[in-house]
């Protein structure tokens, strides 16, 4: 499975997990953030980031957690899900 398909699968799986925890979730599909979750009046950006992308000259850079937090100041919270392709998914805030 290519990395982009793996990323999309992780987005769907984690959307299901958040829904089970009582969040309303909208998957944005190839947009950033990957999902928006709402619970208890809080609007939360959810971003799935891979470890395997190596920035190359002229290519998109590999976003850091700090940069993502700066980009999503308009949300009440940010959940970042990091993964190492094709191994595992790590969940943290």
The span from the CA of 86 to the CA of 73, in Å, is: 30
The Cα–Cα gap between 57 and 20 comes to 41
Q: What CATH number should be reported for the domain holding residue 59? A: 3.40.1350.10
24-78 pLDDT, tens digit each: 999 998 888 999 999 999 999 999 887 655 455 555 555 667 777 888 999 999 9
**Res 13 pLDDT > 60:** yes
Give dist(CA 72, CA 90) in Å, integer.
20
For 22, how many CA atoms within 13 A lie in the half-sphere containing its CB?
A: 4
Number of domains in the chain: 1
Contact 1, 9 (CB under 8 A): yes
Amino acid 88: pLDDT: 53
Provide the pLDDT for residue 21: 96
Q: Could you tell me the residue range of the domain that residue 67 belongs to? A: 3-92
């Amino acid at each position: 499975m290519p990395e982009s398909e793996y990323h999309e699968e992780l987005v769907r799986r984690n959307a299901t997990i958040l829904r089970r925890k009582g969040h309303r979730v909208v998957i944005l599909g190839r947009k950033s953030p990957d999902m928006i979750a709402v619970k208890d009046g809080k609007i939360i950006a959810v971003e799935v980031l891979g470890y395997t992308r190596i920035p190359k000259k002229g290519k998109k850079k590999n976003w850091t957690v700090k940069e993502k937090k700066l980009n999503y100041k308009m949300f009440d919270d940010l959940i970042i899900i990091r993964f190492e392709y094709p191994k595992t998914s790590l969940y943290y805030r």
